[in-house]
Amino acid sequence: MTTTHAFKMQLKPGVVDEYKARHDAIWPELADLLRESGISDYSIFLDEDTLSLFAVLKLADANKRDALPDHPVMRKWWDHMAPLMLVEPGNKPREWSLKPMFHLA
């Protein structure tokens, strides 16, 4: 069983193309880590007017998402992406949860 998790993040001005390029070349070890952590069907969308990123992913019931901040590959990715985004201390992207309002299956 999976649940859907949605959240938004925020890009800094002038970095849209670089953000896209870095995700187009996502590190295989990061993609593997996300899958092994119970994350699948992960998409990120951009609102070009506000530079807000909207992410939607599926979480397996037995996911290990909460352990990701301690993993060296995740930390390295966050450091790699920090110049492009609003981040928390430690370079974790600032994340705002989104409330489900409608779903058509």
Q: pLDDT over 90 for what percent of the chain?
A: 98
What confidence score (pLDDT) does residue 90 get? 95
In the residue annotation, 71 being an active-site residue is answered as no
- State pLDDT tens for residues 53-100: 999 999 999 999 999 999 999 999 999 999 999 999 999 999 999 999
Please answer whether residues 67 and 37 qualify as being in contact, where contact means their C-beta atoms are separated by less than 8 angstroms: yes
Fold of 2-97: Alpha-Beta Plaits (3.30.70)
Q: CA 63, 7, 5 angle in degrees (round to 5)?
A: 35
pLDDT, the chain, mean: 97
* Given the residues 5, 23, 71, 103, the one annotated as active site: 23
The pLDDT, as a whole number, for residue 30 is: 98
Which pLDDT score is estimated for 3? 95
CA distance 67 to 101: 28
